[in-house]
Amino acid sequence: MAMLEVKNLEVYYGVIQAIKGISFEVNEGEVIALIGANGAGKTTTLHTVSGLLTPKSGQVIFEGEDITKVPAHRIVSMGMAHVPEGRRVFAQLSVYENLKMGAYTRKDRQEIEESLRSVYKRFPRLEERKNQLAGTLSGGEQQMLAMGRALMSKPKLLLLDEPSMGLSPIFVNEIFDIIRSVSESGMTVLLVEQNAKKALSIADRAYVLETGNIVLDGPAKNLLEDDSIKKAYLGE
């Protein structure tokens, strides 16, 4: 059984249809990439999966349970964490306070401390800057903080929206190394990314979105070799 199943999803903004009946699934332990041009519907898809948007029709099924109408905060406690586009850290709070906010659905203090230690181990820079205000971090560090904060909820499924956006090439490589290591530790990842080459290099499978439709899908390594993908998204 797939961990996440999206079935015939249709999403509208007013009269404009953003998602046109797409279906896809994410199996436990996979890294799945959604790639496509700006405005293809990638972010809308993630927002609908995590409960921030309600679809006009279709279903989102997480671990066998229909969560299509479940409010976003309840979806977090069911084991899904969403790292939004643009990072959205709490600028006026310290790095440490941001991380603690990520664990707001959890009660066990000892387990929260363990998660904090493992986030600091994965992101040593966050520990060095734990008392610094999040708003004063660089873009790459804020992206690490947003990811660390999501990991604090101990998710089974991590949704990442454009993690490399606006980052320097060095940070892009670092962020993708971290995504790979998170997935190797057993976490399932659904990744929306405009840097198609990077996304396909770490994904198991990928879906290509064009104006609200899935036009292609398959193993990521096959898509990397696909001429139409190379032309459209890899600049080759």
Per-residue pLDDT of 193-202, as tens digits, reads 988 989 999 9
Q: Where are the domains of the chain?
A: 23-88+140-146+155-233
Single pTM value for the model = 0.91
Query: Taking the CA atoms of the chain, what radius of gyration do you get in angstroms?
Result: 17
Answer yes or no: are the C-beta atoms of 10 and 58 closer than 8 Å.
yes
> What are the pLDDT digits (tens) for 143-168?
999 999 999 988 999 999 999 888 88
Answer yes or no: are the C-beta atoms of 167 and 205 closer than 8 Å.
no
Answer yes or no: are the C-beta atoms of 189 and 158 closer than 8 Å.
yes
* Number of Cβ within a 10 Å radius of residue 34: 26
Positive or negative, the CA dihedral 165, 74, 64, 119 is positive
3-state secondary structure the chain: CCCEEEEEEEEEECCEEEEEEEEEEECCCCEEEEECCCCCCHHHHHHHHCCCCCCCEEEEEECCEECCCCCHHHHHHHCEEEECCCCCCCCCCEHHHHHHHHCCCCCCHHHHHHHHHHHHHHCHHHHHCCCCEHHHCCHHHHHHHHHHHHHCCCCCEEEEECCCCCCCHHHHHHHHHHHHHHHHCCCEEEEECCCHHHHHHHCCEEEEEECCEEEEEEEHHHHHHCHHHHHHHCCC
Q: What is the pLDDT of residue 142?
A: 92
Q: Which architecture does CATH list for 23-88+140-146+155-233?
A: 3-Layer(aba) Sandwich (3.40)
Residues of the chain with pLDDT under 70: 235-236
Q: What is the pLDDT of residue 37?
A: 84
Answer yes or no: are the C-beta atoms of 214 and 25 closer than 8 Å.
no
Give the integer Cα–Cα distance in Å for 29 and 47.
21
